[in-house]
Structure 1
């Protein structure tokens, strides 16, 4: 039989379907230059998925480098960008690994499986670092709540996120669900996972050691998801392209659960040299990346890959994104022990090749050589584009359309209730009740708290000696970023950072999922460049490094992009989880204290959006030094036991923060406003503000702490009673607030 590589050399002019696989002509010609011939069909499959936008970051690399060049010094950072997930030292010999990624387009095509496999994929990223996954979060965005598109997509996405995480026994401890017309036809489904491991047991995606065995283990390979995430996320999303879309991956959470426990035993037995999950680009990604980061070569018999469909061609095997699969590098002396552990967990495992030092990735199929490439050219040396970018044509006019010109209401009570029942501010209990927040019993705080908090003492064997905990929060605001992408990214970071600090946790590190339209649109590319620059600058100022994340481009329908939506996740640590601060007003007869100053800032606000359907002006100004000082106050106050309850002030302003604090435990409050403009005090979205509930005997100590850190503070009232009363302005019974808050989403979806 003539092998494919020889035939490719002998038939240089044979047409190949590179365009159908998403490759540009110049990219295809570059592959020919690298190989000195045309690629085989299997090689073309590898390069097409590995050089896709989703896998190669070819349009974003030049900007993402700022996360490294501007990174603050961090003693906690153990593994940064470039691996499957970042790892940070959380003390007592323990480390946390976390990451957020997108599964946007697959979730539109098939909401349940798209969202479910998004969770499964991010969980495997955490597994591949040597960690036990311990919790998940989700950041979801849809079109208007009552739109037919949302009615179709949202229930399936929520069901997919919930069912996969619940089956794995992973608590879903927080996230976001929001609505905006810009997401019609292009929902955002961003999933985050966090895991724990001993800091001396980190695993990396590398294939060192010629002669070491390459093992594929987990589920078998099928036709589902062929080119799925890598292709779906790398092209403009248009209605007429439905017929060309590959199948969405299909998840099996029960196999993934076995895979988790199997991997943990393999790690404990120390029989894994290197490991990589099979996500986007499947076998193509795992083999090229492992080989490129190891001793440079690998030989694989593709015919040994276990198949669910024996009719699959080699190209399809290489591009399949079937779920619940991992690839490991194992020494020959450990292979029997590795296989025995897999068998004990009923996880199929097959040796499909071995590591070499040839500098080549060679694959065979039925005795025929079908791939012979330098693996680094696929994994690391893809095209890098410096896309042209410029400010959108209407940006100046948008920013000049200040929300301050909008008519202010006379009835502030009615305005509060209108906002409280609006989709973005209404209770998300219909969503989060489908997630198990407390499975395993280690959840300390979860939705609707500002951040999720987990104790680590009972999560991992041998960790019982520590009272340490971790906190996680995500945030993003597409309207803010549309008005100013530089500031919008910083505002997302600032709120997630503040939400972690509100619990008493010390913020340590950042992950991000950057959701944007087409990078081929110079106006979108300007938004992206500005957002990355803003986030990198803010991380440096706050002292929290970016550990990794995801870029999701082509989020648009036709020529209409979504709002630029950088979603930022922040991880923090609590030295003693018993000292975490609970959410909201926890008891009567506590002083209500507002930290931070309020200004008349309504650009991109919920009030402007809900009441006037307006987007214009500038978003709230962000003061990163003030955010850092505020976080220091919150962490120290929690450690000293000065605070009984807390809640950050953000979307909807002080009025919504007070309401949510009352609803947390049904405790009312009577407050007076610190300024002379009730509307501004109640509905401005100025940043750097937090509500605290403080025992009277602790107030002076808190005041001294705020003064020392130069954080403005105002005692504005006290908790108690059965209503929220703003003196001289409004009074609403807590029961009425709860009814308005709880009814919006069930009215659409409960049936």
Structure 2
């Protein structure tokens, strides 16, 4: 950068000036395209805007050609459920009675490796502002997390900081954390995944969108001041691969990570809601990745004219900042609103009421361009859509890796397996204590799950349930899931299995699944094998949603998740939102709510161990094929559970996923603090019955008085079922006939002791 202001006029008169576009992440052809768009070289400020907005994180330049498949597979019926969908800050669905819910998943992966606490905290803050920008009150968060091996030294650096960041920011905002995951795998070493989800609630009529319409309307920046923190942060960090030096710590670029202030955001939430309810906002956009570059270009691109902005009016908290830095800063807790001139005074009055700083920084014009001034010089003069939406689109090479067949041929079903009762007993305990199956209480106890008093279910339940209407008891349920090992074996099926599990987990709470969001985490898009994984996962998820009849409302793509040449496991995290008309009929996870409940296993168990937790824990093996997925059966399973819930036939339910029936029995007994007597189906191989990870299965507890009515309903609907035991409140053990009788105290020690022993 030079001391002299690089204005548009200067750019016109110095066409051959060398510019550091490569250092800003732009390719040669991308830079030339910018020059063609402008008919000249870009100014320093324009170059900064294009570089951050055309980054992989902001422009989706490698994923657009595949993401359009979501639109191609969305039916009119699915579309009718959405008030806002892909392309908006967050998806919005109409849930009836005048209520609407908005929800979204996003990533903050690389910043959370560089600075775990602030990276995770600002990931939460950013997704919360996306929800605010739709006109909703944020009501809950969830956090799917993935780390390297649990006992690795760097995991002990990263995980506590991430958990602390997620917890402290969410807790300070007063938002309950009602779901998420914690997964360990060696491919995430040096590249953790920190995905954040937020859910917001509003009246359907209160929906707000990001657009700058109406010539003469004012552009108001409000919230925190703009500083040097986070310049190029998420937009650049998320568009680069860790180079692998110093165990992943070395980097080509090391921009600063944003610094969050949750108390400022809490006030900003209340200020925004006050502004909405007072009818003072025409359009609104949060400032997250790419900062003012994103907010101004996207607002202008979605409007009906141009926009003029004066950066001299932007409140700064650092001295000596230039135009490029102001436009690129990713300082947190900021929003940008479009306001009618006659309402500016009232807008400012509301901001003063909440002690939120606000400044009029520009206005909507009847022209075509986004014009930005700095020190009375025009430093940006661009067609806004070329910045926000007309970035490069790459059709990256897609190639199925040759090794995929070798991985599939390495059948996990042939691995040595336990057979004697002692071996099976030891395996149950070893699995329960393994890092990926052990209790997450060490993590979730750092989150406030019940603040605001509307949480009905939260971890360790399968899904989170929240009451949104105290008069009627109407509520919502959410779950986020993905078994990346399945996706590695078959990304198409793996994505559908992630969808099926999240769908099933929502159903096991007693809610009806109705919409999907996603966060697609993959390695470098420049690797044809990674792009094949991505393409297959997108198609699998889209086809699965079409079969289930629920729409994808939006999401996020996170590429370059790898260290050197080692990509992470393909990790398409799926979030499902469901609705429940009365939260008092929610289904708990723990057994023992009623004396002598019958335990019934719904669904079919097959010999399926590819990608299973047993193959990982016992053999450190990943190979074969993942479990079969039958989405029609998943839909039927959900319908049966919902019918059973409404008619009082189910007193507890727990999804079967990683670890199979054995893990489900351990968890439901320990959560309910109730013993159980289990009899495996006649003729079944005890090992397969206990540890298979076949999909489409749920363990339900049914009151004795309802057993016949419930099983008759299952049979009538064609849903396979098997009675596998009874809850025994008078017992202090899990008694699996002919296998083992394990005291709950011993199970609890195994299940609950792992994470505290690892992380203190």
Match for residue 737 of structure 1? 747
> Is 1:22–2:39 an aligned residue pair?
no
Higher mean C-alpha deviation, range 386-395 or range 579-588:
579-588
> Is 1:583–2:589 an aligned residue pair?
yes
Which one of the candidate residues 484, 492, 507 is aligned to 1:486? 492
Superposition deviation, residue 692 in structure 1? 0.5
Match for residue 446 of structure 2? 434
> Is 1:286–2:295 an aligned residue pair?
yes
Secondary structure of the residue aligned to 2:206 is coil
Superposition deviation, residue 637 in structure 1? 1.0
Superposition deviation, residue 2 in structure 1? 8.4
Match for residue 481 of structure 2? 475
Match for residue 159 of structure 2? 154
Secondary structure of the residue aligned to 2:269 is helix
The 1-side partners of 2:227 and 2:463 are apart by: 38
Superposition deviation, residue 113 in structure 1? 0.1
> Is 1:690–2:698 an aligned residue pair?
yes
> Is 1:392–2:401 an aligned residue pair?
yes
The 2-side partners of 1:61 and 1:639 are apart by: 42
Match for residue 460 of structure 1? none
Aligned counterparts, 1:38-187, within 5 A: 38-72=41-75, 73-74=77-78, 75-187=80-192
Secondary structure of the residue aligned to 1:571 is strand
Match for residue 707 of structure 1? 715
Superposition deviation, residue 556 in structure 1? 0.2
Superposition deviation, residue 239 in structure 1? 4.3
Superposition deviation, residue 734 in structure 1? 0.9
Q: Quick check: 1:296–1:375 contact (8 Å CA) kept in 2? A: no
> Is 1:453–2:465 an aligned residue pair?
yes
Superposition deviation, residue 584 in structure 1? 2.2
Match for residue 315 of structure 1? 324
Change (3 A) 1:2 1:252: closer
The 2-side partners of 1:103 and 1:663 are apart by: 34
The 2-side partners of 1:497 and 1:422 are apart by: 25
CA RMSD for the aligned pairs?
1.0
Superposition deviation, residue 243 in structure 1? 6.6
Aligned counterparts, 1:271-350, within 5 A: 271-350=280-359
After superposing on structure 2, the runs of 4+ consecutive aligned residues of structure 1 that deviate more than 4 Å are none
Which one of the candidate residues 12, 16, 21 is aligned to 2:15? 12
1:423-478 Cα deviation digits (max 9, x unpaired): 00001110000000000100000000000000012xxxxxx432110000000111
Q: Quick check: 2:216–2:365 contact (8 Å CA) kept in 1? A: yes
TM score, norm. by length of structure 1: 0.98
The 1-side partners of 2:244 and 2:112 are apart by: 15
Which one of the candidate residues 434, 439, 445 is aligned to 1:422? 434
> Is 1:603–2:615 an aligned residue pair?
no
> Is 1:633–2:646 an aligned residue pair?
no
The 2-side partners of 1:632 and 1:586 are apart by: 24
Superposition deviation, residue 586 in structure 1? 3.1
1:183-223 Cα deviation digits (max 9, x unpaired): 00000000000000001110000000000000000000000
Superposition deviation, residue 729 in structure 1? 1.1
> Is 1:667–2:674 an aligned residue pair?
yes
Which one of the candidate residues 267, 273, 298 is aligned to 1:264? 273
Q: Quick check: 1:31–1:39 contact (8 Å CA) kept in 2? A: yes
The 1-side partners of 2:40 and 2:676 are apart by: 75
Q: Quick check: 1:89–1:199 contact (8 Å CA) kept in 2? A: yes
1:338-372 Cα deviation digits (max 9, x unpaired): 00000000000000000012110000001000000
Which one of the candidate residues 571, 578, 597 is aligned to 1:572? 578
The 2-side partners of 1:421 and 1:666 are apart by: 18
The 1-side partners of 2:460 and 2:471 are apart by: 29
Superposition deviation, residue 244 in structure 1? 2.6
Unaligned runs of 5+ in 2: none
The 2-side partners of 1:155 and 1:201 are apart by: 38
Q: Quick check: 1:103–1:118 contact (8 Å CA) kept in 2? A: yes
The 1-side partners of 2:95 and 2:391 are apart by: 35
1:46-73 Cα deviation digits (max 9, x unpaired): 0000000000000000111111110142
Q: Quick check: 1:92–1:466 contact (8 Å CA) kept in 2? A: no
The 2-side partners of 1:645 and 1:213 are apart by: 55
Unaligned runs of 5+ in 1: 458-463
Match for residue 365 of structure 1? 374
Superposition deviation, residue 180 in structure 1? 0.4
The 1-side partners of 2:14 and 2:644 are apart by: 73
Match for residue 540 of structure 1? 546
Match for residue 651 of structure 1? 658
TM score, norm. by length of structure 2: 0.97
Change (3 A) 1:738 1:25: same
The 2-side partners of 1:609 and 1:390 are apart by: 27
Match for residue 381 of structure 1? 390
Higher mean C-alpha deviation, range 246-255 or range 294-303:
294-303
Match for residue 206 of structure 2? 201
Superposition deviation, residue 3 in structure 1? 6.7
Secondary structure of the residue aligned to 2:251 is helix
Higher mean C-alpha deviation, range 409-418 or range 130-139:
409-418
> Is 1:516–2:522 an aligned residue pair?
yes
